Structure 1
């Protein structure tokens, strides 16, 4: 009888050990995560540490811990992020990516994690531009591959000189230097610049265009989609999301 109990106990220990090992193995995966290094305050390079920081960086760190994966962070121009996910060179991307029907055909999106839109930015002493319609005959800067560029092309076409820039800092410097009359881009990024480096020199004008939502982009059919969505839901439920939001935007998401 004792011999039989020992056998059962040994079998139980082996089974438990394999179960724990299996769980650890399932969580011991390293994914390639892409971001755009110039979309402040969502993602930006900390000049002192040389590491990426920002709202999105805190979000992906929290998601990875809850979903059970490690990750290698890779930076690239925004225009190359969706193609990189589409081809499987990147597992997940987080870079203030607007969820669109067109993009959803080639990548899977997580549930939305940020509500946004598009906004105009002009020089502080310019009162001639108050809406997108006022851009006719003028030079406007935006970002390559962005929904703001698509919007300008669809609504202005050849009636304005539309210049797409590879990075948001490039288009802001173009505005300050007089190369363009206005910048049209994602509202949180435009607003952040107007209150920091552009304070006193630029201003936001007009309404918020195209209510948009950001999502994480994953490879089509990704096994991680459900885990990412569960992590996001849990973060919003327990208040972690609001804490991260307040850290970067000065208020909880519910205050907006």
Structure 2
């Protein structure tokens, strides 16, 4: 049967509109989140899925705002590229809220306050403070906020900084093997890694610095809208005690406020 071009065009336009509306509805109810899945106990893989503290926080936030989470697992160094290209909406990977990052991204309010520490061998009695690191080699995660803070903290102290792009246990093993004299990372992460792998290491004193951990969003309409919703949800989850429960479950401590 012959159908006029105008009729066919109308059907095509209607189909396109339905398709676009369906895509829009799907996009508006799915939170695409990037994570490395290799940073226990915050984000790691188990039975084919990602799990951990950051994962649980995002899932709780998504539930509060009526969204489903679509997880995208990639190397840490590539997560910001995915955020910049619009492939993901945010990153859940223990991201510190820094002035440099805030110039480019809109961050949620912090959902964790993390203290950074130096880790040394259990039997090392020669390093007792930062000054004792002079002439030593210190390891840190490549491209992390910790790396930038460490370089600032040790500036002018004659310390060699060696960067790594591996999981915390592998990086801590560099200290055990004597390839670096100390390692710099978040206290919760290193305590967990030391305990899981039973490494002969210890923390050097109190935290040298503190981080505020949050979720970054692109500075566009979608990013700003999501950031607003996520902020409101985090506020409610803090108020009703949900965030504290998640923290105690995964980290055995309440890191949702400054201690």
TM-score range, shorter chain: 0.7 to 0.9
| 1:86-165 equivalent positions in 2, closer than 5 A | 86-157=84-155, 159-165=158-164
Partner of residue 246, structure 1: 248
When structure 1 is superposed on structure 2, of 89-98 and 27-36 the one drifting more is 27-36
8 Å contact from structure 2 (residues 115, 209) kept in 1? yes
Partner of residue 31, structure 1: 31
The C-alpha deviation readout for 1:178-222, integer Å capped at 9, x for no partner, is 2111101122212222333135x0110122122221001111131
User: Following superposition, which runs of at least 4 residues in structure 1 exceed 6 angstroms of deviation?
Assistant: none
Structure 1 gap ranges (5+): 1-20
CA distance in 1, matches of 2:134, 2:38: 28
TM-score by length of 2: 0.81
When structure 1 is superposed on structure 2, of 235-244 and 75-84 the one drifting more is 75-84
Describe the SS at the equivalent of 1:246. helix
C-alpha change, 1:99 and 1:107, in structure 2 (3 Å) is same
Partner of residue 165, structure 2: 166
TM-score by length of 1: 0.82
Partner of residue 217, structure 1: 216
CA distance in 2, matches of 1:75, 1:132: 36
- Structure 1 residue 254, shift from structure 2 partner: 6.4
CA RMSD between the two structures: 2.4
Q: Does 1:181 align with 2:181?
A: yes
Describe the SS at the equivalent of 1:73. strand
Q: Does 1:66 align with 2:54?
A: no
